[in-house]
Amino acid sequence: MESLLIHPTISTPFINFDLNSGIFEMSGVSRPEDVLDFYRPVMEWLEKLESNVLAKTTAGQELKKIQLEYKMDYFNTGSSKFILKITKVLSSIHQAGKDLSVTWHYEAGDEQMREDGEYLAEAADIEFNFQEDDE
């Protein structure tokens, strides 16, 4: 199984789910014109990873830890649903025995973005670390 790398555009985020390092980063802006079309391959990749972990395949066993880094500047409502789905799939992988840490980065003073992270953490029923970054 290969890592997932999606380069950003003006309306879509940078996604780098690196299986070698275990660092899964999602950053930038997410307001794709067709949110389902953009996130479909991401969800398919995550579901394949989850299947490999649950089936204890070689690809699933090589991944020891996932460090999920959200560094979002903005995301629309449609994207928030997929960010929640991504978090829930990774939570399922965590429940299958993989270490998982989630860090929600937000710009200093951007309380709305912090609240969005708090909502996602609660909705996914997983603990987030909150990191206030300098502007």
- List the domain range (segments joined by +) for residue 63: 4-133
pLDDT band at 67 (very low <50, low <70, confident <90, very high): very high
Please report the pLDDT score of residue 94 as a whole number: 87
Please report the pLDDT score of residue 39 as a whole number: 98
Number of structural domains, the chain?
1
Q: Rounded to 5 degrees, what are φ and ψ at 100?
A: -140, 130
Give Dmax over CA atoms of the chain in angstroms. Answer: 44
Task: Give 74's strand partners.
Answer: 29
The angle, 0 to 180 degrees and rounded to 10, between the axes of the packed helices 77-95 and 35-54 is: 0
Mean of pLDDT values over 47-70: 86
Please report the pLDDT score of residue 74 as a whole number: 95
Query: The domain spanning residue 93 has which CATH number?
Result: 3.30.750
Q: What are the pLDDT digits (tens) for 71-110?
A: 999 999 999 999 999 999 999 988 888 899 999 999 999 9
